[in-house]
Structure 1
Amino acid sequence: MSATAPPPREVLPWNRFGDATRELAQMVADSGWLPELVVAVARGGLVPAGSVAYALGVKAMGTMNVEFYTDVEQTLAEPQVLPPLLDTSVLAGAKVLVVDDVADSGRTLEMVMRLLRTGSPTPGGPASQHLPAQARSAVLYTKPRSVIEPDYTWRRTDRWISFPWSALPPVTAGPDAANARNTEA
């Protein structure tokens, strides 16, 4: 019996990441629309958002914590906004650029954009009186199956993407850490 080969992956290494985010930022700048605030969709959008904000010269940043993917190709039933919550009332009248790593299914980005534009994460939910005048989205990658078309996309792919910040498993305490804790007690 032969083992099943893993599906092909799109790999974005660290040495290409800087160029990718500057090119994405250049797309935003070339459109003539410049944000006053960059909102990162955490966790995957944290690193790209910081890089895009620096490239655009935007100092104001916020974070929208959203959980949807639990593993490769495994998701929750719906994206969930997690605390701490971004106070969207302070965004009234602002030009906001939402940055994420990928619009895969697009459901996370769709929910965040709806929340920023209407004040409700669900369709038909109660609207807020404090909404940004404009909200646009930028992602490194968009997949063909995405339910939303981001305003700015660096690349398109149908492959699973290995990003440099999530390519390796989380670190765990090694045996020296356990020994250090035992000697401190």
Structure 2
Amino acid sequence: MSLPEKAFPVSWDQFHRDARALSWRLSGTGQSWDTIVCITRGGLVPAAIVARELNIRRIDTVSVASYHDYTSQGDMQILKEISPDIMETEGNGVLIVDDLTDTGKTAAIVRAMLPKGHFGTVYAKPKGRPLVDTFVTEVSQDTWIYFPWDLGFAYQEPITKGHGG
């Protein structure tokens, strides 16, 4: 796996706007959900925003981790399961929320757990896109999204260096 070529830093304000945009798109589907299952950790923030906007009070989490050396994705392991009573529904009435679908590996695991669930993400990359029902922004596979919870204040290099005055 090569390092991403493009950086896409997202501020808290932008992420909040994008998560609200996801809520608008979800509300426009005509479906309603009584439960959110968010994929931790990245799904926690958008799930809170979507839960507020769609007035969904019941939120559960599922935690799937990939152990890797930052150059290759390793085996996927479920660290925290979805509550059994939610699993029994196969996802009927369940909205699955995450910040991003990248390769689709995590999405495929959760989708298999809740095949009748509706999957919403804020951002989607081409490899993961087929597993998502609703998303806000698609970015190229070689783009690395820097989420606001991963960032501090720092100087940003210009996109093109050496072309200034």
2:151 is matched with 167
| Structure 1 segment 140-155 matched on structure 2, within 5 A | 140-146=122-128, 148-155=130-137
What is the SS of the residue equivalent to 1:47? helix
Separation in 1 of the partners of 2:69 and 2:13?
A: 25
From the superposition, tell whether residues 147 and 58 of structure 1 become closer, same or farther in structure 2 (CA, over 3 Å): closer
Q: CA deviation at 1:164?
A: 0.6
Separation in 2 of the partners of 1:81 and 1:57?
A: 28
Separation in 2 of the partners of 1:72 and 1:21?
A: 27
Q: How many residues align?
A: 146
Q: Which runs of 5+ in 2 are unaligned?
A: 153-165
Task: Letter of the 1:81 partner, please give it.
Answer: I
TM-score normalised by structure 1 residue count: 0.71
Task: Letter of the 1:22 partner, please give it.
Answer: R
Matching residue within 76, 82, 89 for 2:85: 89
Separation in 2 of the partners of 1:25 and 1:165?
A: 20
Larger Rg: 1
2:120 is matched with 138
| Structure 1 segment 98-137 matched on structure 2, within 5 A | 98-117=96-115, 134-137=116-119
Q: Which runs of 5+ in 1 are unaligned?
A: 118-133, 169-185
- Between 1:17-26 and 1:66-75, the stretch displaced more is 66-75
Percent of counterpart pairs with the same letter?
29
Separation in 2 of the partners of 1:54 and 1:68?
A: 30
Separation in 2 of the partners of 1:9 and 1:149?
A: 24
CA RMSD of aligned residues (A): 2.2
Separation in 1 of the partners of 2:54 and 2:148?
A: 22
